[in-house]
Amino acid sequence: MSHRPTTMQLYLDHCPRAVDHYERGTPQNRDIFTVGTVAHEILFAIGQGMPIEPIVASLIATGRTGDDSEGPMRPDAVFEGRDLALAWSEAHPIPDGAFFEYAFAFDGDWKPCAWDQARFRTRVDVVHRRTEEDEDGHDIQDLVITDYKSAWPATETELDTLQRRAQAVSGWLSWGDEIGSITIAVANLRRRQVFERVIPLDEEGVALLQQWQRDLEVVMDAIDVREPDGQRPARPGARCGGCPYAASCEPARDLLARHGASDTADVVRRYIAARALAAELEPHIRSATARWSWMTSRSGPFRPRPGPPGRGSCLRSRSHGSVPPASRLTRGCAARCLDGGAGSGARPSRWWRSSGSSSTKTPRCGRRG
């Protein structure tokens, strides 16, 4: 079977059973990824010189096809993703000779092979070569492997993830004889910044890439382990948090079904699994309570403020805003949904919270005026 950074990261972040869910196409809520997905599609179109508007219309009407196909996407998220991509391409023109959605595929011996015959395979957003100077002032060819990220927190911490390491290994195995260095780059579309890490292909750099290659082997071998029933092992508990398949996972639900557990560790595992299931259900409750003021900001309305220009070995452009505050679904509004809705005049009878030491209690719904 083929491995890719997506499934390997699922294994590392959650558990082996999550990889089974991915391969089976178990439904998951991908709304939070829509803006980034659209931005990737539009940037690919820009790189290929394709018209943008037909792609926008297609994403809204039918979704996208491919390895990670999706159904029709929300218009507001599509427009936001389009605008994000256009703003990025204006600030960072496409490099000459760049390859988009470049496919790397390797067999069990790490030899390049066809995509459908690979043991390890991955697609990279942008790959291009540029001329740089080494420490001795000689011109060398530098292979730049760029990954677009639409999440605000994606900064230099993304330069040492398994995905970046896999991309660096792939570039080295494909072009190592023709280049003198590899640059792995994270392009934060929202911040409009590029973060880079350069790996010279000297003795030390090659040794590092060889170690990363062995690490990838270890992870792939671990993912291949299956139980007698043919499924990968499930480890419900702490790593259910953030798992996109928690709501569909029987072992996670079975864990929640236990009652009266006295072991503290077991109670903690059940709690985290419950939080993961609640996170999967929250988007549905948001839709049901959208006509009421169900979102409150933890730090007031977001007002972008320009940041100072930043430069350094990794930072390549300035920040154009700050991270917006998180929003949350208030339990009081969920209660309104159950109590008949705001239109009935009923006030939620549960989930009040105290305001300091006062006996006055305020429902957790909307803003307090």
What residues contact residue 191 under an 8 Å CB cut-off, 6+ apart? 152, 155, 319, 320, 321
Looking at the domain 5-223, which fold is it? Lambda Exonuclease; Chain A (3.90.320)
Q: Whose structure tokens read 């004889």?
A: 177
pTM of the model: 0.71
pLDDT at 310: 37
For 320-355, b/e burial (b = at least 16 CB within 10 A) is: eeeeeeeeebbbbbbbbeeeeebeeeeebeeebeee
Q: Within its chain, how far is the Cα of 231 from the centroid?
A: 25
Q: Which amino acid is at 227?
A: E
Would you state the pLDDT for residue 271?
76
CB 353, CB 361: distance < 8 Å: yes
pLDDT value of residue 87: 96
Backbone angles phi, psi at 145, to 5 degrees: -115, 110
- Find residue 34's DSSP bridge partners: none
Q: Phi and psi at residue 345, in whole multiples of 5°?
A: 85, -5
How far apart CA 283 and CA 279 sit, in angstroms, is: 8
pLDDT at residue 276, rounded to an integer: 75
What residues contact 135, with CB distance under 8 A and at least 6 apart? Answer: none
User: Which pLDDT value is given to residue 285?
Assistant: 67
| pLDDT < 50 regions, the chain | 291-331, 341-369
pLDDT at 368: 35
Which pLDDT belongs to residue 332?
A: 53
Phi, psi of 74, rounded to the nearest 5 degrees? -65, 130
- List the chain domain ranges: 5-223
Are 126 and 146 spatial neighbours (Cβ–Cβ below 8 Å)?
A: yes
